[in-house]
Amino acid sequence: MLTILLILFSINTYSQCVSNQSFTMIPAGPYQPGDVVTVNYTLGNFNGIFINWIHAFEINLCPAWINLTPITAPLNPAGSAGSWVWDIQHTFVGGLNFGPGWRFDNTGNVDWGTASTGPFTMSFTVEVGPTCTSDNLCVSVLVIDDCTTGGWTGGGGACCVDPAYNIYNGVVQIPPIITSNINHY
Amino acid sequence: MKKLLTVLLVCFGLATYGQTTINPDTVCVNATGEQYFVTNTPTSTYNWTVTGGGGTLQTGQGTDLITVDWGGVSGLYLNAIGVVESNAAGCPGLPVLLDIFVLDLSSNVIGPFCPGDPSATLVGNPAGGVWAGTGVTGNNFDPSTAGVGNYVLTYSMAGCNTTINVIVNNGPVTGPIQHF
């Protein structure tokens, strides 16, 4: 009985509003300095609690990555009026510091997200920066609802608490430098 | 034709990349323009150091090939040449080192001689080198074989040379015994 309760609690905690997330990375890792990787990410469904709407996709990168570039923004199937915009940094009305990533700019109800439940597919490229050490190359995507951003307060403060979706956790591959012996003409 | 091409390519490859220097490397005292190199990676840079042996790096810092002038004090100098390769990202590799033995040859002085004098022993220092010149057989100089004249004898080892001058003079010419 306790086990069942724990499992239910776990599901409720870690898959609260988002489901069916997937990704591809082209090319596949591991990666060396200078490699440019295209990341495609899809969120299959978003079903908010207390009418929370999806508001943003934040891309979290370890510092070893550089040159994050958006390629394809999410669509907004059956969603609210507005569009997804790319932000390097944005401070939401509730004070949440966001970025980089895509944020829904609701043109009907400013500060709300979109009523769309997905699917949402987006892509971006990112490059492995110059380094001499095996730095972490983490990539994750955090889905943020408009309760968390402070745009929607009608739910009584019950916001989605989905963890960031982990896409990659490798480290930079440093090619060995092999110097020949010194020779004398 | 295909076999000939293969042979040519192998020979070219050996001539270009096949050289291997034994550690320690031997150079002559006061040698100039000695060239040292590593196999080149085009995107890499090379930081060389020359320490000991009176060596000074003359050209090529940053590249895969340098020239060095050596000093006048013989001896073994450990890690006298070093190089650290850095790749295009500026990441350094491990240092590669080479010991240097600065070789100073010397020899004994012999002569002058007269025709018919016995052979003289040639002594080179350090031992183990090779003598060459007129009248030389092994480590001996034979004035009779050489004959009258001035000769330059060479003592060689590991690409270094030293020379000595040897003179074989005319003997006195004595006339016939006369009876007053």
What's the confidence (pLDDT) of residue B115? 86
pTM of the model: 0.68
Asked if residues A127 and A34 have their Cβ atoms less than 8 Å apart, the reply is yes
Q: Which of A71-80, A154-163, B34-43, B137-146 shows the lowest mean pLDDT across its residues?
A: A154-163
| Half-sphere exposure at residue A3, Cβ-oriented, CA atoms within 13 angstroms | 0
Contact check, Cβ <8 Å, A132/B91:
yes
Rounded Cα distance between A42 and A23, Å, is 6
| CA-to-CA separations, B160 to A42, B34, B41, in angstroms, rounded | 74, 13, 32
Nearest-neighbour CA in chain B from A32: distance (Å): 11
Contact check, Cβ <8 Å, A177/B34:
no
| pLDDT tens digit sequence for B82-109 | 999 999 888 999 999 999 999 999 999 9
ipTM above 0.85, yes or no: no
Partner B contacted by A127 (CB < 8 A): no
A contacts of B23 (beta carbons < 8 Å): 181
How large is the average pLDDT for residues B148-156?
97
| pLDDT tens digit sequence for A24-72 | 999 999 999 999 999 999 999 999 988 999 999 999 999 999 999 999 9
Give Cβ neighbours of residue A8 (< 8 Å, ≥ 6 apart): none
B contacts of A177 (beta carbons < 8 Å): 44, 85-87, 91-94
Partner B contacted by A4 (CB < 8 A): no
Asked if residues A100 and A87 have their Cβ atoms less than 8 Å apart, the reply is yes
B contacts of A182 (beta carbons < 8 Å): 21, 25, 36-38, 81, 83, 96-98
Alpha helices by DSSP H, B18-168: 143-146
Cis previous bond, A100, omega within 30: yes
What's the confidence (pLDDT) of residue B38? 97
| pLDDT tens digit sequence for B10-40 | 333 333 444 578 999 999 999 999 999 999 9
What's the confidence (pLDDT) of residue B72? 94
Average pLDDT, chain B: 89
Q: Has residue A9 got a pLDDT over 70?
A: no
| pLDDT tens digit sequence for A76-120 | 999 999 999 999 999 999 999 999 999 999 999 999 999 999 999
